[in-house]
Chain A
Amino acid sequence: MTPMPSFDMADSRGEPERSPAMMPQPFTIKRVGQRPLRFEGSELCMAMSFVPTCPSWYEINIYRTTAQSFVAAVRLFFVAEGERDRVRAWECESFDEVLDTLEAYDAGRDVRVDAFPDDPGMTPGDLAAEGFMLRAKVEGARAHYRSLLGEILHELEQAAE
């Protein structure tokens, strides 16, 4: 049996890093397919999944506006210059609604579809392979996002104890 690595389960007591309280400031978040979201407020939470070997990473932000509403933002960044970063953001009335929104987000939508099924040159085998690849990419994107969101919620839970 190989020795187990360090690996916490339930009820660990890690202390999250906390950024200093910030004064309200203006934010403009460009969104995919929507007008930019402009508001004045402060950032309550930031998390990012950047790893040097990973071709893309997610950043999740939660803001509180001076109008006492909340904004959730999910940003997907790419290392490759040819890829365009994707940003989605939502206004929410409560912090609970922010968490609901982030939990409901399907990161599978972030996967770009490169295959063109109506290409007459593609054989059924090509299509099947493309489909398999696409499904794997969708599962990978979902797992990536869910892992980061789970980290935020875990940190919040631990800090709230």
Chain B
Amino acid sequence: MQTEQALRPTVQLTAEAVALFRSGRHGPPAALPPETAGGPSGGPSGALAAPLAAPLAEAGAVRAGGRPDPAMAWRSLRRDGARPFRFRGITLIETGVTVPGAAAGENWACRFAVHLAAGGGLVAEIAVLPPQIEGWAVSRPAYAAAEVAGPADLDPLLEGIRAACHPPVPGFAGEAGDAAHDALTVRLSAALGRMIGTALAARRSDTTETGDP
């Protein structure tokens, strides 16, 4: 079984590059302004209802009055082709599945997580590790993360994952890759849809109770 570490490319960074990156990291797109309890880019604000407040309280991230604590930990989610998605929040669900490919030993490892941002917004994270296939140029892990308001928002994430994992040339281990990936996409979509649906139901409950738009 191929491990993620074995597939990693070579990266060399100087301390200066890290310092420059850190200094430019203020105000990331997904950042929550201090003391404003909106979603990563403007979700509902105000006190949280029990379904969402409970996991935050467990993490010690809820202040008196049920408001999420803006000082809660920063999370950083890896993405292909873009700077990591940063926000304050906690992980609600993190799990993984292994989807068998068309041939023996072709296992696609997939992990997904749903995070709750400080203001009640939901963030979905997907990572996929394709099987290592001889001559297959795209046996690299794929990562995607974004704020989601509903199951439909997962489509771009899944499409990105699909493009990243798809065999580069049809017929080049293509059928096995297609079959495995189709199965993966379907299972992933269903699993994520269920999780997001449950979390959104809790959020709707929150909105109704607090009267926030």
Contacts and interface: CB of A to CB of B under 8 A. Distances in A.
| Genuine A/B complex | yes
Interface of A: 1-11, 16-19, 21, 42-51, 53-56, 62, 64, 94-96, 99, 103, 132-133, 136-137, 139-161
Contacts, number: 201
A145 B163 CA distance: 12
Contacts of A137: 168-169
A4 B83 contact: no
A110 to B, nearest CB: 12
Interface string B2-24: 11110111111111111011111
B: contact size bracket: 35 or more
Contact of A150 (B22, B80, B96, B169): B80
A124 B127 CA distance: 38
A136 B10 contact: no
B13 A140 contact: no
Contacts of B81: 103, 142, 145-147, 149-150
Nearest to A57: B9
A47 B10 contact: yes
B187 interface: no
A85 to B, nearest CB: 17
B98 interface: yes
Contact of A156 (B18, B82, B100, B170): B18
Contacts of B68: none
A157 B129 contact: no
A49 B3 contact: no
B168 A160 contact: no
A153 B18 CA distance: 10
Interface stretch (B40-48, B58-66, B131-139, B190-198): B131-139
A161 B18 CA distance: 10
A139 B163 contact: yes
Interface stretch (B30-38, B140-148, B150-158, B201-209): B140-148
Nearest to A12: B78
A9 B13 contact: no
Contacts of B20: 44, 95
A38 B15 CA distance: 24
Contacts of B165: 143
Interface in B42-56: none
Contacts of A150: 78-82, 143
